[in-house]
Amino acid sequence: MPFVFFAAAGSLIWGALAAANAYKVTRFLAYASINQMGFMLLGASADTFDALRATYIYLFLYAVMTGGFMLAYLHIRREDGNALIHISDFGGLARTEASICWSLAVYLFSMAGIPPLAGFFSKYYVLNAVLARGVTVLVIIGLIVSLISAYYYLRIIATF
């Protein structure tokens, strides 16, 4: 289990810090996925039935949130018809594609773990299961990383 603890902590920290510095959408999503995998490894590291159940719930909800974000992202285009490549390309999108911006915002808020959306509860259940196991260091790392991830998800919403 110590290997899984270190893998979870490393994935959480590396994914969050790298995603916070990413400026291309695809690179951002890749690093954010590494961060999200860290939360799944947190649940696996607790090695209890409740932790595994919380991890499966997290995995399902994360797949729904990411799939919804990708569908909306693939639908939108810049004014010249090209795909959005940089996060700054989302600028002004609320004026031209308001309904898509609302759906993107909901998915991003949920991935950030903003209550009362599903992403908050999935992170809460995973962190609660790890806390019940007694690994408070990983819970503290998870909370700090959640704050960092809220920054980079909200950074995209702010460009709308």
Range of the domain at 80: 2-159
- Give the pLDDT band of residue 14 (cuts 50, 70, 90): very high
d(CA 94, CA 26): 21
User: Can you give the pLDDT at residue 126?
Assistant: 96
3-class secondary-structure state, position 149? helix
d(CA 29, CA 57): 20
- Give the pLDDT band of residue 1 (cuts 50, 70, 90): confident
Peptide linkage before 2 cis (omega within 30 of 0): no
Number of domains in the chain: 1
Cβ atoms of 19 and 152 closer than 8 Å: yes
User: Can you give the pLDDT at residue 80?
Assistant: 79
- Provide the percentage of residues in the chain whose pLDDT is more than 90: 81
Region of 81 please: left (phi>0), alpha (psi -120 to 50) or beta.
left
- Residue 13, pLDDT > 80, answer yes
Q: What is the pLDDT of residues 42-100, one digit of tens each?
A: 999 888 999 999 999 999 999 999 999 999 998 888 777 788 899 999 988 888 889 99
Bridge partners of residue 24, in order along the sequence: 86
Mean pLDDT computed over 18-44: 94
Which letter does DSSP use for residue 22 in this model? Answer: -
Taking all residues of the chain, what is their mean pLDDT, rounded to a whole number? 93
- Give the pLDDT band of residue 132 (cuts 50, 70, 90): very high
